[in-house]
């Protein structure tokens, strides 16, 4: 099959007949976020095809006789297209989003998958004074430090102390955003696919979505157990059903070790 050649002279030509939605309120913030992502993905695809068509006239980024040029050209075209669509792009995503929702795409609420929850009141000074601090490895701290901005943002959004978030991340993944457990828990805060879906996480491997999703769940557990950090951590590991069943930290060795480890890291962060 011959490759498709693109010749576009009017970027808005093919969108002028799309139906205008008069009532933008018919879509929830979550739906608007999904529409926005779909529009940007479509723009990225169109941009990539345009770049490919343009590249064929000048022998690509790496020249006609470069070794592996075709392969790397495709990678560069896709990456450039994605970066362009994530910014202002070429306008296709804006047009699609406006035609569907009746709103400008830049009016979309930031992080609308993650609605803000009330702050959780926790008195960290009264948490296990006799527990020994656990000092994390320098390598795990170095990895963790790369996500300071995201952790701070998630902490402010959900009212969860940033040191609790850090301690959970260290315990769950040692700061490795590519961590995958034998139970298929994924990412920095080791989210299961079903839990991630319930939390509105689209890409569990995206550090921002993973941290925001995991922190949202921590906030929910802290709210459910009236700020009791131990019970919230136990429910994060074993599920709130088990915490309720045993009326406290379940008698599971894994969960008990988990709580001790997170609390040990927390004690460390509170002491520095």
Q: What is the pLDDT of residues 120-168, one digit of tens each?
A: 555 454 456 667 889 999 999 999 999 999 999 999 999 999 999 999 9
- Angle, vertex CA 258, rays to CA 255 and CA 261, nearest 5: 155
Instruction: Using only the alpha carbons of the chain, give its radius of gyration.
Output: 24
Higher pLDDT, 79 or 258: 258
Q: Within a 10 A sphere around the Cβ of 59, how many other Cβ atoms? A: 13
Please, what is the average pLDDT of the chain? 77
Annotated catalytic, 209? no
The residue from 43, 77, 172, 209 that is catalytic is 172
- Give the least confident one: 64-73, 168-177, 250-259: 64-73
Q: Is the pLDDT of residue 20 over 50?
A: no
Name the fold adopted by 124-271. Lysozyme (1.10.530)
State pTM to two decimals: 0.57
Domain map (residue ranges) of the chain: 13-107, 124-271
- Which candidate, 206, 173, 166, 168, places its Cα nearest to that of 188? 173
From residue 230, how far is each of 1, 2, 109, 159, 224 by CA, in Å? 61, 62, 33, 17, 12
Q: What are 96-133's pLDDT values in tens digits?
A: 777 887 777 655 444 444 444 455 555 454 456 667 88
């Amino acid at each position: 099959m011959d490759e498709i050649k693109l010749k576009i002279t009017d970027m808005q030509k093919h969108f002028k007949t799309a139906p205008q939605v008069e009532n933008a309120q018919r879509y929830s913030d979550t739906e608007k976020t999904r529409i926005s992502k779909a529009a940007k993905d479509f723009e990225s695809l169109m941009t990539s095809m345009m770049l490919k068509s343009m590249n064929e006239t000048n022998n690509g980024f790496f020249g006609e006789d470069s070794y592996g040029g075709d392969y790397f050209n495709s990678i560069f075209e896709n990456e450039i297209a994605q970066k362009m669509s994530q910014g202002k792009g070429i306008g296709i995503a804006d047009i699609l989003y406006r035609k569907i929702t009746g709103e400008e795409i830049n009016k979309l609420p930031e992080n609308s998958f993650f609605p803000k929850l009330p702050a959780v009141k926790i008195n960290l000074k009264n948490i296990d004074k006799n527990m020994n601090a656990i000092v994390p490895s320098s390598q795990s701290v170095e990895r963790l430090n790369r996500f300071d901005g995201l952790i701070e943002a998630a902490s402010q959004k959900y009212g969860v102390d940033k040191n609790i978030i850090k301690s959970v991340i260290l315990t769950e993944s040692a700061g490795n955003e590519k961590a995958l457990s034998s139970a298929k828990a994924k990412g920095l805060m080791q989210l299961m696919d079903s839990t991630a879906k319930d939390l509105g996480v689209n890409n569990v491997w995206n550090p921002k979505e993973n941290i925001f999703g995991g922190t949202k769940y921590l906030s929910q557990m802290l709210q459910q157990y009236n700020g009791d950090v131990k019970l919230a951590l136990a429910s994060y590991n074993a599920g709130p059903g088990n915490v309720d069943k045993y009326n406290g930290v379940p008698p599971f060795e894994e969960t008990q070790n988990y709580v001790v480890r997170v609390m040990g890291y927390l004690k460390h962060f509170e002491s520095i």
